[in-house]
């Protein structure tokens, strides 16, 4: 009986170039496709083909061909599609290629391209035969002669180790090749043991003298006393149970051993992917995440198959999972934020809550709309000064300048509240405003983010108050700000728009961009200033604060459940992130 030892080479992938494979004890399929198809769809289709083969117990070439064509019909119209599939039953091998797929067979130190393109074949396999499933793209990199030199004398893993350095030295995007070698299984099949065990007594009596002891045993059983017959019968039953149990255990051991070998092979593939993912984490985070997802898909497939085989608590699978999780943590740089209460607004007066906050020169301004107040809290002393004005009750945002609070409301405009609680309307309500999302004061100048007009309006300090509004953006520099949520200023202006951050310097858009190791982010708030080195991005839905440098380099992400309840936040370098949640300010460690 023949079994397979195999290993797989997977090259790099790009946005629209995918390679994947599926394998079982006697099923091997590789695929390459250049199209806007999700990786998960490819894996799901390959798994469905494998499951259907096992479910229908396919055992001839026509059935195999019909299944492959039925499941891949939508892909076969693409000129860049390639599939090579192999399926063995006992010592018969069934082969199919479509598109740019290729199958090589190696025997007697000769490699032969058996089929390619739209083709199929079948034949008998022998101990030591090599099966190679690949594509035209791989053959262009590794010719038949070189393939023969590498294959013979190596096991499949040795072939991969020999080819990897030269393939990685060049562009290996879209390359895939599966190397499998048939091996004679020396273990006696269970069916043979069962046949011998079930041999009728009448047949046994016709055997040579080697069966005489058994005959004698039976005759003694028939002719002995009632008590001895019961004892003998009991012995027979016990021996039969032991025999059946040993057969069952032997089968389970063999299934487990074969599966463990496959886990080892797949672990090598995962190790290669994880190693490359770590290397790319700082230069191509999206590619790094793709490799991580591919590794996770391999683990999920192995874990599902282990359940199907009723194999539980496999240390090898647990180790593979831990390895992937650790790499994910290293790439995504996720840390659990340590939080503590920084300030309780009930100390100001019982029931005090705030909806917004602003930090400047060691003081936090807290917008208390309910009581028409702005509370000024000293970071160092935690002393409080409150400014009161009725117009604060309609305010949406608060800012500070030279120790005085300014509030913005769509009803009144921008109001300054001095130390005597006098409210001065420094910028009148403007009918042009559509959807104001944030406002900021920098060097005394006021900036208003209006997503409805795709604008950041600038109001300059003038002799008597402030100038009329002007667009901050230079000619042709405005962008779509419909999804903008917040802005922050440190000389340059940073605007959070969904999962993007845009930077403007003197009204001109900078090439700045951030790459976060997560496709599902939505930045509700952003914070930076002249005194800190990084930019902090708050994603309320996921409960995370992402930290990037002012060059856009991702540094790490801090996770804390209280972030999901955040009303606002600021960052004070000596303290960390100060997060406002209704009547409390919490401190989250960032270092």
Q: What DSSP string describes 436-477?
A: EEEEEEETTEEEEEEGGGTEEEEE-EETTEEPPPEESSPTT-
8 Å CB contact between 5 and 181 = yes
On the question of pLDDT at 256 being above 90, the answer is no
pLDDT digits (tens, 9 = 90+) for 64-98: 999 999 988 888 777 789 999 999 988 899 999 99
Q: What is the mean pLDDT of residues 325-330?
A: 90
What CA–CA distance (Å, rounded) separates 367 from 487? Answer: 18
Q: What would the DSSP string read from start to end of 467-526?
A: PPPEESSPTT-----TTEEEEEESSSEEEEETTEEEEEETTEE-S-----S-SS---SEE
Q: Indicate if the pLDDT at residue 230 is higher than 80.
A: no
Model pLDDT for residues 37-51, shown as the tens digit of each residue: 777 788 888 988 998
Residue scoring higher pLDDT (503 or 204) = 503
- What pLDDT shows up at residue 41? 82
More confident residue, 207 or 126: 126
CA-to-CA distance for 390 and 329, rounded, in angstroms? 50
pLDDT on residue 250: 60
**Whether the predicted model's global pTM rises above the 0.75 cut:** no
Q: Among all chains, which residue has been given the structure tokens 């309780």?
A: 344
pLDDT band at 225 (very low <50, low <70, confident <90, very high): low
Between 117-121, 289-293, 397-401, 478-482, the lowest mean confidence (pLDDT) is in: 289-293
Q: Domains of the chain, with CATH numbers?
A: 1-186 (3.60.40.10), 224-332 (no CATH), 336-588 (2.130.10.10)
> CA–CA distance from 44 to each of 41, 191, 268, 526 (Å)?
5, 34, 22, 39
Place of tokens 């190791």: 517
Axis-axis angle for helices 190-197, 226-280 (nearest 10): 170
Q: Among 510, 555, 519, 553, which residue's Cα sits nearest to residue 539? A: 519
Cα atoms found within 13 Å of the Cα of residue 57, Cβ hemisphere only:
0
Structure tokens, 510: 């900078």
Does an H or E element contain 123, and which? strand 119-124
**What is the gyration radius of the CA atoms in the chain, in angstroms?**
36
Spatial separation of the C-alpha atoms in residues 179 and 381, rounded to whole Å: 70
Q: What Cα–Cα distance (Å) separates residue 374 from each residue in 70, 344, 356, 540? A: 69, 15, 10, 24
**498 to 15, 59, 332, 523, 542: CA distances (angstroms):** 21, 53, 19, 6, 14
Who has greater pLDDT, 378 or 519? 378
pLDDT (0 to 100) of residue 32: 92
Contact 487, 526 (CB under 8 A): yes
Helix, strand, coil share of the chain (percent; to 5): 35, 35, 30
What average pLDDT score do residues 457-468 get? 92
Selection from 535, 572, 533, 571 nearest residue 552 by Cα: 535
Helical H runs in 201-284? 201-205, 212-223, 226-280
pLDDT at position 264 is 85
In this structure, are residues 144 and 165 in contact, taking their beta carbons and an 8 Å threshold?
Answer: no
Query: What φ, ψ does residue 306 adopt, rounded to 5°?
Result: -60, -40
Task: Kindly tell me if the per-residue pLDDT of 495 is higher than 80.
Answer: yes
User: What is the sign, positive or negative, of the torsion defined by CA atoms of 249, 251, 254, 256?
Assistant: negative
What pLDDT does 226 receive? 62
Mean pLDDT of the chain: 87
Q: Pick 413 or 75 by higher pLDDT.
A: 413
């Amino acid at each position: 009986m023949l079994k397979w030892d195999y290993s797989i080479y997977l090259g790099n992938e790009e946005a629209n170039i995918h390679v994947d494979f599926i394998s079982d004890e006697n099923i091997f399929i590789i695929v390459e496709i250049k199209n806007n198809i999700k990786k998960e769809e490819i894996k799901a289709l390959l798994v469905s083909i494998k499951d259907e083969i096992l479910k229908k117990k396919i055992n001839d070439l026509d059935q195999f061909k019909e299944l492959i064509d039925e499941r891949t019909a939508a892909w076969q119209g693409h000129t860049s599609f390639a599939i090579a599939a192999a399926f063995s039953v006992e010592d018969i091998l069934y082969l199919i290629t479509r598109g740019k797929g290729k199958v090589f067979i190696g025997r007697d130190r000769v490699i032969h391209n058996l089929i390619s393109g739209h083709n199929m074949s079948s034949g008998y396999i022998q101990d030591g035969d090599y099966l190679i499933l690949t594509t035209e793209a791989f053959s262009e990199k590794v010719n038949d002669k070189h393939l023969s030199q590498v294959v013979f004398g190596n096991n499949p893993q040795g072939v991969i180790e020999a080819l990897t350095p030269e393939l990685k030295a060049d562009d290996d995007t879209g390359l895939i090749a599966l190397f499998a070698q048939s091996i004679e299984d020396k273990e006696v099949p269970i069916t043979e043991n069962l046949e011998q065990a079930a041999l009728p007594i009448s047949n046994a009596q016709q055997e040579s003298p080697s069966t005489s002891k058994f005959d004698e045993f039976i005759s003694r059983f028939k002719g002995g006393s009632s008590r001895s017959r019961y004892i003998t019968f009991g012995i027979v039953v016990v021996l039969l149970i032991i025999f059946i149990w040993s057969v069952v255990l032997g089968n389970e051991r063999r299934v487990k051993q074969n599966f463990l070998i496959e886990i080892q092979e797949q672990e090598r593939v995962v190790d290669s992917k994880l190693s490359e993912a770590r290397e790319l984490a700082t230069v191509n985070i999206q590619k790094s995440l793709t490799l991580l997802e591919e590794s996770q898909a391999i683990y999920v497939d192995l874990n599902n198959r282990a359940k199907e085989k009723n194999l539980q608590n496999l240390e090898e699978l647990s180790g593979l999972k831990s390895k992937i999780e650790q790499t994910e943590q290293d790439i995504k740089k996720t840390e659990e934020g340590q939080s503590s209460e920084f300030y309780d607004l009930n100390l100001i007066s019982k029931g005090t809550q705030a909806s917004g906050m602003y930090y400047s020169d060691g003081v936090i301004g807290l917008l208390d709309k309910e009581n028409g107040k702005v509370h000024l809290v000293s970071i160092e002393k935690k002393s409080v000064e409150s400014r009161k004005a009725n117009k604060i009750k309609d305010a949406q945002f608060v800012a500070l300048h030279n120790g005085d609070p300014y509030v913005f409301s769509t009803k009144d405009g921008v109001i300054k509240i001095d130390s005597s609680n006098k409210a001065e309307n420094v910028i009148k309500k403007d009918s042009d405003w559509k959807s104001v999302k944030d406002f900021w004061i920098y060097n005394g100048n006021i900036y208003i983010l209006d997503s409805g007009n795709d604008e950041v309006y600038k109001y300059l300090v003038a002799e008597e108050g402030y100038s009329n509004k002007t667009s901050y953006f230079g000619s042709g520099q405005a962008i779509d700000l419909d999804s903008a949520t917040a802005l922050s200023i440190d000389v340059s202006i940073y605007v959070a728009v969904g999962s993007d951050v845009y930077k403007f310097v003197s009204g001109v858009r900078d090439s700045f961009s951030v790459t976060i190791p997560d496709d599902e982010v939505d930045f509700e708030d952003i914070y930076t200033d002249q005194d800190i080195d990084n930019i902090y991005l708050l994603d309320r839905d996921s409960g995370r604060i992402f930290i990037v440098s002012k060059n856009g380099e991702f540094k790490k992400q801090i996770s804390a459940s209280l972030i999901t309840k955040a009303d606002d936040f600021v960052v004070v370098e000596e303290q960390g992130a100060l997060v406002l949640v209704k009547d409390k300010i919490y401190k989250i460690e960032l270092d």
